[in-house]
C-alpha cells in the first residue's frame, strides 16, 4: 500500500507542520507554540516519487517521533488531530509538559 | 560524488599493553584470549542491530562507524565516529543515525547512503543556523550535537 505524498503534505500542513525550503529534499517540521520541534519528515523531490510506500513507515515514525506505523497513518489520514499529536509527543517525552 | 567512508576498526591479536584486572599479561598464546575484541577490517557489520521488529519485516544490512563524510562542501572530518545503520524494509534501503536523528531511504544501498549524506548536510545547515530560542528542548539537544559534529 502507498499514500499519495500530496495528500500527506496537505494533511501535515493543517496540523502544524511547515515546509523548510532549500536543499534536495522536502523537509516538513512540526512547530509548537512558534518553536520548531525535532518531529519532522523528509520527502524526496524526485518527480518519480509521488506515493509514500508503506514500507517506509518505519523511517517516518522515527522522524515523526511516533511509536507505531498506525499512528503515522492516523496522523496523515486525519483521525489524529494536531492536539492528539501534541499529546503523543508529550507522552513520549519529545515535548515537555510546559512547552 | 558523495560517498560514505567507513571507519575501519583495526585491532591486532597479541598481548595487550595493559592486561585487564585478573589476567596475567605474560600469558602468551597463538589463540586470542576470550576477553579480547575480535579483529574486523573493512566495511563489515560490527554489531547486531536492535531494530524494533514488531511491524513489517526489517532486515539488517550493516552497521558502520564513520569518521568522515563527503558532502557537497567537500570532505569533512567528524568529531566522533558516527554510527550509521542500514536496514531493508520492503523494496527500500533505510539508512539512519539515531543520535543526530538523520534518516534516509533509497531503492539501492548506494542511493540511500547518498541521500543520507545530503540530508545530513541539509540538517547540519538548518540546525547550526538556528537560534536556541526558535527550538523546543529535544531540537536544542540535536542542535548541540550538530554544532560540534564537524571537526574544525
- Domain CATH number, residue A62: 3.30.160
Of B101, B122, B130, Cβ closest to residue A23: B122
What is the average pLDDT across A8-13? 90
Contact A27 B122 (CB under 8 A): yes
What is the average pLDDT across A33-40? 93
Residue A46 lies in a domain: yes
A78 touches chain B (CB under 8 A): no
Given a contact cutoff of 8 angstroms between Cβ atoms, the answer to whether A41 and A29 are in contact is: no
Determine phi and psi for B147, rounding to 5 degrees. Answer: -60, -25
**pLDDT digits over A66-91, tens only?**
998 889 999 988 788 999 999 999 99
| Chain A residues within an 8 Å CB radius of B90 | 53-56
Distances (CA, A) of A94 to A35, A72, B110: 13, 16, 31
Percent of chain B with pLDDT over 90: 39
| Residue matched to cell numbers 579480547 | B36
**Residue B131 banded pLDDT, cuts 50, 70, 90:** very high
Domain span at residue A86? 2-91
What residues are paired with A19 via a beta bridge?
A28
- A40 CA: distance to closest CA in chain B (Å): 10
Residues B62, B68, B70, B74: what is their CA dihedral angle, to the nearest 10 degrees? Answer: 170
Amino acid at each position: 500500500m502507498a499514500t499519495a505524498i500530496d495528500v500527506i503534505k496537505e494533511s501535515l500542513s493543517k496540523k502544524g507542520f511547515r515546509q523548510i525550503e532549500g536543499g534536495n529534499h522536502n523537509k516538513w517540521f512540526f512547530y509548537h507554540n512558534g518553536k520548531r520541534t525535532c518531529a519532522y519528515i523528509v520527502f524526496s523531490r524526485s518527480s518519480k516519487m509521488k506515493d509514500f510506500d508503506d514500507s517506509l513507515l518505519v523511517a517516518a515514525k522515527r522522524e515523526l517521533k511516533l511509536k507505531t506505523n498506525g499512528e503515522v497513518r492516523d496522523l496523515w489520514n486525519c483521525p489524529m488531530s494536531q492536539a492528539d499529536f501534541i499529546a503523543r509527543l508529550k507522552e513520549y517525552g519529545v515535548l515537555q509538559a510546559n512547552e | 560524488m558523495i560517498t560514505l567512508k567507513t571507519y575501519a576498526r583495526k585491532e591486532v591479536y597479541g598481548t595487550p599493553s595493559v592486561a585487564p584486572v585478573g589476567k596475567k599479561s605474560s600469558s602468551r598464546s597463538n589463540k586470542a584470549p576470550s576477553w579480547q575484541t575480535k579483529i574486523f577490517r573493512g566495511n563489515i557489520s560490527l554489531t547486531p542491530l536492535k531494530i524494533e521488529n514488531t511491524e513489517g519485516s526489517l532486515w539488517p544490512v550493516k552497521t558502520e562507524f564513520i569518521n568522515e563524510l563527503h558532502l557537497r562542501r567537500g570532505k569533512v572530518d567528524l568529531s566522533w565516529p558516527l554510527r550509521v545503520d542500514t536496514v531493508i524494509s520492503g523494496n527500500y534501503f533505510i539508512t539512519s543515525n539515531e543520535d543526530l536523528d538523520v534518516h534516509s531511504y533509497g531503492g539501492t544501498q548506494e542511493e540511500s547512503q547518498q541521500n543520507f549524506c545530503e540530508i545530513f548536510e541539509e540538517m547540519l545547515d538548518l540546525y547550526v543556523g538556528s537560534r536556541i530560542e526558535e527550538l523546543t528542548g529535544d531540537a536544542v539537544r540535536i542542535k548541540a550535537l550538530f554544532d560540534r559534529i564537524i571537526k574544525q
